[in-house]
Amino acid sequence: MRSDRVTKGIARAPHRSLFKALGFIDEELARPLIGIAVAQSEIVPGHLHLDSIAQAAAAGVRLAGGVPVRFPVIGVCDGIAMGHEGMRYSLATRELIADSIECMVMAHGFDGLICIPNCDKIVPGMLMASARLNVPAVFVSGGPMLAGRKDGKPLTFTTVYEAVGAVVAGTMDQAELAALEETACPGCGSCSGMFTANSMNCVTEALGMALPGNGTIPAVMAERLRLAKKTGLVALEVVKQDIRPRSILTEKAFMNALALDMALGCSTNTALHLPAIAHEAGCMLNLDLLNQVSAITPNLCKLAPASSMPIEELHGAGGVPAVLGELAKRNLITLDAPTIYGVLGDSVKTAVNRNTAIIRPIDNPYSLTGGLAALKGNLAPDGCVVKQSAVALSMVKHRGPARVFDAEEAAFDAIMGGNIKPGEVIVIRYEGPRGGPGMKEMLAPTAALAGMGLDDKVALITDGRFSGATKGAAIGHVSPEAAEGGPIALVEEGDMIVIDIVGRTIHLQVAAEVLEARRAAWKPLPPKVQTGYLARYARQVGSAATGAILRE
């Protein structure tokens, strides 16, 4: 066992004395040590209850004859960080999470690893660490929040953001906004739509690193605790059989994950995280491959933000296994892909689509193509990403004049001030991985547009990114980014921009010689952050088109 290096032999007597200072006994030190990386905190609603999930997982480990050892992992609440300088830190924590887990596992000789994440960057950070370490590992998330309810209608976190725009537009009063604030987020769990956290927790099922139910069982259900106990049991089994993450995180797994992504209409952030996880696993995943999978994979679900339907409804309809079962009817997933519990087909065998209004049958999809699309053109030579399943039909093709802003805050002020007109294309730049730094999510401006009734009349493009809660013609990850001298840095107020989501293109209608003259005169903005972790991150981070991974 890997733990022998810290528990066995005469030379390890000092090490054993430290274990005994923690209360360990010899009988425990003779058994597999299972590290439990748990992101519990009192600042993230999705993580508030993770101590109970960790306790249940630990109980499963002990039932199977192992010894659980918990250690903490940081996590940023994207919602609380949204709309101010705190959002620069969210994506950047993905690397810190992966690095810190690597440090803890390697330093303490754990035989196996249970990862307990829930929210946005914590899930991919833990997956990256697992692939990098290649120590037997399993996942169980904290599960989604139940939807809030008002007058019998479901509410999500996004509802409150959109209500801010409605108040500004005069279609809602502040008393109603205050009522929504009280009811939209009723308790613990990851925000209740197909936003980034729930997207990644569902994708973890398709990757084979978690048991069925990981992405959809609500946080408050006892079923979630039972799942955690079963995950603890499985953790010992993967250690005994020496099943390593890189034997699971293969090309088959990533293709399955992309297919599920397209069927569910997941967050555009998956286009950042899946390539980064694949990189750690020794695989390659790029935007061209995303488009290839999208072209053949129907969109079967429209959950919030593409509709008002919360993710708890997906669980009731059969969850991820039922969606995979529909895809399997067209051979769009690989059923023999290995998982922590066997092969992916094992989860599909007993799956039932219990509600075809939530999970459309494969022969009656919302669309014949997937939920995400990558666009390319002279404005984004390396690509950009849009959640096409959440775009109004009137905006899948759009031509309009550019309104240019060098920071999210300036664009938000213009929106809230009523200075954006129907037909325009908002350009927010210098918010990419390097220029942000940290590639801020932009739920505030997109939700304000939706709340003001402009999400089907105005497009927004950025070298930053969007929350999974964003809807409308919101096109992010424009690469190369402005800070790298990408064409988005050369756009001027009033330039015409043509977007064709169906044709997968995005163009700036400016003559080539004019763009060359602008490039010759272009000077990058000074770094927004010049000290500390973000300054180091900005110097090392790569393009969003390849997952915003750190360059060696």
- Write out the catalytic residue numbers: 467
Cα 212–chain centre separation: 18
Question: How far is CA 487 from each of CA 429, 465, 475, rounded to the nearest angstrom?
Answer: 10, 17, 15
HSE on the CB side for 59, CA within 13 Å? 12
User: 């272009």: which residue's tokens?
Assistant: 522
Question: How far is CA 210 from each of CA 156, 200, 292, rounded to the nearest angstrom?
Answer: 26, 11, 26
Q: How far is Cα 85 from Cα 149, in angstroms, rounded to an integer?
A: 31
Cα 468–chain centre separation: 7
In 73-204 the beta strands, taken as DSSP E runs, fall at 112-116, 137-139, 148-150, 153-155
Answer for the pair 459, 395: CB distance below 8 angstroms, yes or no.
yes
For the chain, state the CA radius of gyration: 23
Going by DSSP bridges, is the β-strand pair 397-405/425-428 parallel, antiparallel, or unpaired? Answer: parallel
Write the DSSP string, 444-477. HHHHHHHHTT-TTT-EEEESSB--TT--SSEEEE
Q: How far is Cα 206 from Cα 203, in angstroms, rounded to an integer?
A: 5
CB proximity list for 96: less than 8 A, separation 6 or greater: 74, 125, 533
Instruction: Let me know if 225 is exposed, middle or buried by CB neighbors in 10 A (0-12, 13-18, 19+).
Output: buried
Q: How far is Cα 121 from Cα 269, in angstroms, rounded to an integer?
A: 9
For residue 392, the one-letter residue type is A
Q: How far is Cα 53 from Cα 116, in angstroms, rounded to an integer?
A: 8
299 Rama sector, left if φ>0, alpha if ψ -120 to 50, beta otherwise:
beta
Q: How far is Cα 541 from Cα 26, in angstroms, rounded to an integer?
A: 45
Furthest C-alpha separation in the chain = 76
- End-to-end CA gap in the chain: 32
